[in-house]
Amino acid sequence: MLSASITERLRAGNVLGAEGYVFELERRGYIKAGPFVPEVVLDFPGAVRELHREFLRAGAEVMVALTYYAHREKLRDVGREGDLEAMNRQAVRIAREVAREGDVLVAGNVCNTWAYDPEDPATRDIVRDMYTEQLSWAAEEGVDFVISETNDYLGEALIALEVIQGLGLPAMVTMAPTQPHLTRDGYEYADACRILAAEGAQIVGLNCDRGPRTMVPLIARIRETVECAVAIQPVPYRTDAIAPTMETLLSPKGERSFPVGLDPFTCTRFDMAQFALQARELGVDYIGICCGAGPHHVRAMAEALGREVPASRYSPSMELHPMFRADVSARDAAFLPSWNA
Ligand SMILES: [Zn+2]
């Protein structure tokens, strides 16, 4: 039996997404921070497979192929342009392989290219060519839909949408809200989403850069503006009015924490569970998480949405902890004064 498409799933209810592969594999020692090119896909495919599986067990309903920054511009920076096709194809194969272990979908993935310049029309063709080659390989390997994400420019996002539509695939297109209200080419986020929806994107919204607290107000505006499905995938960091994005978070010494010193700002699983409920309450359809995500966040989000997922088998049972159970033994209770000191 063919599994339901992304649009059918969204009509039936919320879809839970999970991303942040690049940050997590960097933490695990398989991706170099700075270029952030997913060389791991070719060099350590088992590490990618394992992380997909962890997100799958935690309840993610979409395996996103790790082709983020696997585009010509970025691979040239690290001297691996010759591996471009192999890396893109392999990423989709790995995602498909794990998706088959559960009834979940596979998404192809493209992102901002750093090659687009709204002032230079020639860059439109460069960007279109980059997306076309990446997504043609993805389509050949077999993806159910495509996520175009972390878009700074509406203009660049529209090129991605055009390429995705040319391949006959459903499109989820999300903007990266790095600025307070406007895309880098001057559109309010809600307007950018309205235009993307009018051009035929099945799902629009925001991902990356902002934590739940500072992304939710922007998504509320988008939800009021568009009729189509809306996606939100914040980073699990405690951004606030003073530091609205992960890039602006500062250490106590006043140093920039992005991208490898963000740990003290990490949201707990409880923060992310609360966020998932808030997103559902707002009428957001695709609820996910971006850079910084761990499987524990995803499981907490899934369970907050009322689901039992494979990893729920190991969800906390504190009533079984020697110190928290109802009948704490006298010997164990002797530890309590020092725990409470
Ligand atoms: Zn991200």
Residue at 124: amino acid letter: R
Separation between Cα atoms, residue 255 and residue 248, nearest integer Å: 10
User: How many A from CA of 233 to the centre of ligand 1?
Assistant: 8
Give the other-Cβ count within 10 Å of 93's Cβ.
16
With a cut of 70, say whether residue 261 has pLDDT above it: yes
Is the CB of residue 77 less than 8 Å from the CB of residue 120? no
**286-287 and 229-233 strand pairing:** parallel
User: How many A from CA of 235 to the centre of ligand 1?
Assistant: 6
- In whole angstroms, how far apart are CA 282 and each of 8, 79, 277, 311? 20, 45, 9, 27
Considering only the C-alpha atoms of the chain, give the largest distance between any 2 of them, rounded to a whole number of Å.
76
User: How many A from CA of 209 to the centre of ligand 1?
Assistant: 6
User: How many A from CA of 64 to the centre of ligand 1?
Assistant: 12
User: How many A from CA of 314 to the centre of ligand 1?
Assistant: 27
Q: What is the pLDDT of residues 43-75, one digit of tens each?
A: 999 999 999 999 999 999 999 999 999 998 889
pLDDT above 70: percentage of residues in the chain: 99
- Residue-averaged pLDDT of the chain: 96
Give the model's pLDDT for residue 1: 44
Question: Where residue 2 falls among pLDDT bands split at 50, 70, 90?
Answer: low
* Length, in residues, of the chain: 341
Give, as one character, the DSSP assignment of residue 310.
Answer: G
User: How many A from CA of 334 to the centre of ligand 1?
Assistant: 45
Using a CB cutoff of 5 Å, list residues around ligand 1, an ion. Answer: 208, 290-291
User: How many A from CA of 318 to the centre of ligand 1?
Assistant: 32
Q: What's the whole-model pTM score? A: 0.96
More confident residue, 322 or 245: 245
User: How many A from CA of 290 to the centre of ligand 1?
Assistant: 4
Question: Where residue 323 falls among pLDDT bands split at 50, 70, 90?
Answer: confident
Contacts of 133 (CB under 8 A, 6+ apart): 72, 84, 85, 88
Structure tokens at 157: 């996002």
**ω before 121 within 30° of 0 (cis)?**
no
Give, as one character, the DSSP assignment of residue 182.
Answer: B
